Amino acid sequence: MKYLLLVQHSEEAFARMAETTRREMLAESVQLTHQLHATGQYVSASPLHRLPRRRGFKSVRKGRS
């Protein structure tokens, strides 16, 4: 089984976090990616654009939106 994982955070709140906290979060994310890749469940990752450029997305199920 494969999963789609969307992660979103407030850029302002993220910027206020301590550098060590941000590094720990990044390390945890990388570890999860490695675990999913090792089990064949990892497909791809791509960052969303910053808020001013971001656009909405549609849900697609069984080829229909």
- pLDDT one digit per residue (tens) for the chain, 65 residues: 777 777 777 888 888 999 999 999 989 988 988 998 899 888 888 777 666 655 566 667 766 65
Look up residue 43 and give its two tokens.
């497909």
- Burial code of 5-28, b = ≥16 C-beta within 10 A, e = fewer? eeeeeeeeeeeeeeeeeeeeeeee
Q: What is the rounded distance in angstroms from the CA atom of residue 58 to the CA atom of residue 63? A: 12
Whole-model pTM above 0.85? no
